[in-house]
Amino acid sequence: MSGAAPTSDWPPSRPVMGYNTWYHFRTSITESAVVRQAELLVSSGLAAAGYNCVNLDDGWMAAQRAANGELTGDAAKFPRGMPWLADQVHALGLRFGLYTAIGARTCQSLPGSWGHYDQDARTFASWDVDFVKVDDCGGMPPGTSVAALTEHFRQFGACLRQHNPDVVYSQELPIHQIGKPSFRSSVRASAEIAHMWRVAHDESPLSHDYASAMILGHLAAVRDLHSFAGPGHWNDLDMVAPAYPESGWTLADLRNQLSVWAMEASPLLISADIGALPPDALAALKNPHMIAIDQSGEQCSTVVMNGPVEALMKLDPEGGIAVLFVNLGVGTVTGRFSLPQLGITAARASGHDVWTGETTTFSEVSVTLEEEQTVLLQVKSTG
Ligand code: GAL
């Protein structure tokens, strides 16, 4: 075993913040690329803002298990081995995460953990792995029921915890149940089994044309899941800034995503080349108000509509109420909301725009939004 990892709040009671290799590197990850991203996380100030975990996604493992059945890293990509890499990441003050799959193969047809749950959990613990993501890509015996699949995720979680009581367990159990009657019960089971579970499909195709519609669509999809979110348990909407900026997303798309993720208290795992993030995107990811709203760990549960403008609300840990206004209509629209509709009993209130930094005061809110635009306001009584 190598030295203890540094961050003290682990497993975190707040939604996990960190880095994931998937959208930028796909399977072309190497040890030097991972070390560079970990160093950039620190030098960019993202680690100080709370992004303190570096997770390798699919593609790190060798095409075959070792003769003793152990999972090993791909020696061409990781010549110094996974324990060495874990040490490098830990030495930077960051947590280290790995990916595997519940069935016999990963989504890239590499070895999954089927038949090896205890062995892989022991291996990960011996490498000082702090975070394990378990994907669901099939590779199970034909006809495996949702109940049996749930039981496999439960068993794997128990093995991971047995070998490392502090491991963060992230899993994708509900993802194939999206839109099916079994979705909600999968989410309920996941909330008992894991720290975070995917409730939305991958953020793809990664193009500006689809981005904001897809992002805003999550609001309706996860609205009724707020009772499952809370300290140590989060509905996971997928990674943030996926392959930004080469994905074609605009800054507005990124801000929309971060606003929605913050209101839904989703984990914030950046999945881009940190060295290529423009300053405005970096600033968005480090925005302390967006982070505070996300890290409250509570998902918004109150929604008020005015025409096509939706206002989603939750208590703001910085005081008052966080309100996300969303244009669900076509073209530019205006929505008007009284202060009591926003849960404010005072005659006047102030609104701090999380993204522009402007503060205004008002006795009612009138908000004009372009198509697919959102505004995230921190609203407080002023008297
Ligand atoms: C998908 C998963 C992605 C990524 C990918 C790797 O199933 O949702 O987040 O892990 O597999 O192949």
| pLDDT score for 7 | 60
For residues 263 and 320, membership in a common domain is answered with no
Ligand 1 atom at minimum distance from 198 CA: 8
Q: What is the mean pLDDT of residues 251-267?
A: 96
Contacts 24+ apart (CB under 8 A), 142-147: 146/177, 146/182, 146/185, 146/186
Ligand 1 centroid – CA 107 distance (Å): 6
Pocket test for ligand 1, best of 58, 196, 271 (most atoms within 8 A of CB): 58
Ligand 1 atom at minimum distance from 108 CA: 12
- Asked which of 258, 273, 295 is the last residue of a domain, the reply is 295
Residue 46 DSSP symbol: H
Are the CB atoms for 282 and 251 separated by under 8 Å? no
Q: What is the pLDDT of residues 276-318, one digit of tens each?
A: 999 999 999 999 999 999 999 999 988 999 999 999 999 999 9
| pLDDT score for 206 | 85
Question: Quick one: which H or E segment has residue 309?
Answer: strand 309-315
pLDDT level of residue 153 (50, 70, 90 thresholds):
very high
Pocket test for ligand 1, best of 20, 61, 102, 172 (most atoms within 8 A of CB): 172
For residues 159 and 208, membership in a common domain is answered with yes
| Percent helix / strand / coil, the chain, rounded to 5 | 35, 25, 45
| pLDDT score for 4 | 42
Q: Is residue 3 part of a domain?
A: no
Using alpha carbons, select from 339, 325, 340, 310 the residue that is nearest to residue 377.
325
Q: Is residue 4 part of a domain?
A: no
Ligand 1 atom at minimum distance from 239 CA: 9
Q: Is the pLDDT of residue 107 over 90?
A: yes
- For the record, the structure tokens of 32 come out as 């030097």
For residues 173 and 320, membership in a common domain is answered with no
Q: What is the pLDDT of residues 180-211, one digit of tens each?
A: 999 999 999 999 999 999 999 999 878 888 88
Q: Is residue 49 part of a domain?
A: yes
For residues 105 and 234, membership in a common domain is answered with yes
| pLDDT score for 108 | 97
Q: Of all residues in the chain, what percent carry a pLDDT higher than 70?
A: 98
Q: Is residue 5 part of a domain?
A: no
Q: What is the mean pLDDT of residues 212-219?
A: 86
For residues 334 and 260, membership in a common domain is answered with no
For residues 60 and 158, membership in a common domain is answered with yes
In terms of DSSP H, where are the helices of 127-276? 146-163, 183-193, 208-222, 251-263
CA 131 to chain centre: 13
Pocket test for ligand 1, best of 56, 135, 176 (most atoms within 8 A of CB): 135
Question: Quick one: which H or E segment has residue 280?
Answer: helix 279-286
For residues 232 and 133, membership in a common domain is answered with yes
Angle, CA of 41, 47 and 52, to the nearest 5°: 100
Separation between Cα atoms, residue 383 and residue 377, nearest integer Å: 18
Q: What is the pLDDT of residues 56-91, one digit of tens each?
A: 999 999 999 999 999 999 999 999 999 999 999 999
Kindly report the CATH number assigned to the domain that includes residue 184: 3.20.20.70
Q: Is residue 370 part of a domain?
A: yes
Using alpha carbons, select from 273, 254, 265 the residue that is nearest to residue 215.
254
Ligand 1 pocket list (CB less than 6 A): 22, 57-58, 106-108, 135, 137, 172, 202
Are the CB atoms for 335 and 309 separated by under 8 Å? yes
- Predicted TM-score (pTM) above 0.85: yes
Ligand 1 atom at minimum distance from 202 CA: 8
Q: Is residue 9 part of a domain?
A: no
For residues 133 and 232, membership in a common domain is answered with yes
- Asked which of 280, 295, 310 is the last residue of a domain, the reply is 295
Pocket test for ligand 1, best of 107, 178, 197, 266 (most atoms within 8 A of CB): 107
Q: What is the pLDDT of residues 1-59, one digit of tens each?
A: 344 445 678 999 999 999 999 999 999 999 999 999 999 999 999 999 999 999 999 99
Q: Is residue 2 part of a domain?
A: no
For residues 24 and 131, membership in a common domain is answered with yes
For residues 271 and 368, membership in a common domain is answered with no
- Asked which of 270, 295, 320 is the last residue of a domain, the reply is 295
Domains of the chain: total: 2
For residues 152 and 242, membership in a common domain is answered with yes
Kindly report the CATH number assigned to the domain that includes residue 377: 2.60.40.1180
Q: What is the mean pLDDT of residues 125-152?
A: 95
Q: Please give the residue range of the domain that contains residue 369.
A: 302-381
Ligand 1 atom at minimum distance from 133 CA: 10
For residues 317 and 239, membership in a common domain is answered with no
Q: Is residue 7 part of a domain?
A: no
Indicate which residue's Cα is closest to atom 3 of ligand 1.
202
| pLDDT score for 6 | 55
